[in-house]
Amino acid sequence: MTDKKLLATGSTLPEERDDWQGLRQFTRARIGLSRSGNAQCTKDVLAFQESHSKARDAVHIPLDVAHLQAEMGDASVIFVSSQAQDRQTYLRRPDLGRRLNTASLEALPHGQWDVVFVAPDGLSSIATQKEALPLYRAMCKRLVGWRIAPLVVATQSRVALGDEIAQKMGAKIVVMMIGERPGLSVADSMGVYLTYAPYVGCPDSSRNCLSNIHTYGLSTSAAADKLAWLMQEAMRLKETGIGLKDSSPENGIIENTPKIS
């Protein structure tokens, strides 16, 4: 019976088979989108608009420093800000996000630290809010015997702000746990930048990076294992970046990753 005859008798057409459904569980990308005529279906348009809104919110929502302080309890936390006085200035002037303001610079203590961990907002405060403290706690458990400086929480911060923080505090290594630029598939992804012997003006070629730390990407435990290995190697070689090749074990990189619905 033809489609026209089916409609004439009041019967319903069988649902069109979706050959992409089995593949969608493996990716956050928009694959095999359905259509209505020459246009996308409403559900896909609305899903795109929702993702776009989440990406914008990730950039503009301020980091909840009070919540981070409460989560840390009695542990020592230092709060600093860059020379960018507000979010709009931060987005328009990346250079100001790389240097501390005067009050923050004067407030940083100096010591003999092996490493200082910094939790900056970056371009996704949501990522820092969710991922920074779990990774910091995981690293504290792995770095037995290391002299770890108080956690530094930085607002309106770019990656290079950590260089000035570590230089002022006297830390050999700085670890920046920063919110990555959000995309339309993931708005809460955190990246980690590791730098040995940082200084103001330090080039990006002197850093190692771990990226895509989020629910559907690199897990906290896997990121902590890889970061701990890199830090041990950095101390041994006394360098990071192009001089430190990432040949660490790949165990559990995507362990326990939730299925994508």
Q: How many CB atoms lie within 10 A of CB 121?
A: 30
User: What would the pLDDT profile of 70-89 be if each residue is shown by its tens digit?
Assistant: 999 888 899 999 999 999 99
Q: Is the pLDDT of residue 103 over 90?
A: yes
Helix (H, G, I), strand (E, B), or coil: what is residue 240?
coil
Q: What is the pLDDT of residue 25?
A: 76
What percentage of the chain exceeds 90 in pLDDT? 65
The answer to whether 180 is annotated as binding is yes
Q: What is the pLDDT of residue 250?
A: 60
Query: Which has more confidence, 38 or 112?
Result: 112
Q: What is the pLDDT of residue 255?
A: 47
Q: What is the pLDDT of residue 232?
A: 96
Q: Walk across the sheet containing 207-213 and list its strands.
A: 77-81, 151-155, 113-120, 171-179, 190-196, 207-213
Q: What is the pLDDT of residue 257?
A: 45
- CA dist 260 to 26, 28, 190, 222, Å? 7, 7, 19, 19
Q: What is the pLDDT of residue 234?
A: 96
Q: Is the pLDDT of residue 106 over 70?
A: yes
Q: Where are the domains of the chain?
A: 63-237
The answer to whether 159 is annotated as binding is yes
> What is the C-alpha to C-alpha distance for residues 231 and 147, in angstroms, rounded to an integer?
13
User: What would the pLDDT profile of 216-237 be if each residue is shown by its tens digit?
Assistant: 899 999 999 999 999 999 999 9
Q: What is the pLDDT of residue 50?
A: 85
> What is the C-alpha to C-alpha distance for residues 209 and 155, in angstroms, rounded to an integer?
20
- CA dist 6 to 10, 13, 14, 18, 37, Å? 6, 7, 10, 21, 20
- Beta strand ranges found along 190-256 (DSSP E): 190-196, 207-213
> What is the C-alpha to C-alpha distance for residues 107 and 210, in angstroms, rounded to an integer?
29
119 with 177: CB under 8 angstroms? yes
Element housing 36 (H / E): strand 35-36
Integer-rounded Cα radius of gyration of the chain: 23
Q: What is the pLDDT of residue 58?
A: 84
The answer to whether 164 is annotated as binding is no
Q: What is the pLDDT of residue 47?
A: 81
Query: Which has more confidence, 173 or 22?
Result: 173
128 with 176: CB under 8 angstroms? no
Q: Token digits for 190?
A: 């955190």
Q: What is the third-level CATH fold of 63-237?
A: Rossmann fold (3.40.50)
β-pair partners for 210: 192
User: What would the pLDDT profile of 9-52 be if each residue is shown by its tens digit?
Assistant: 555 545 566 777 778 777 777 777 877 788 888 888 888 788 88
Find, among 43, 42, 44, 16, the residue nearest to 31 by Cα. 44
What is the average pLDDT score of the chain?
87
Q: What is the pTM of this model?
A: 0.82
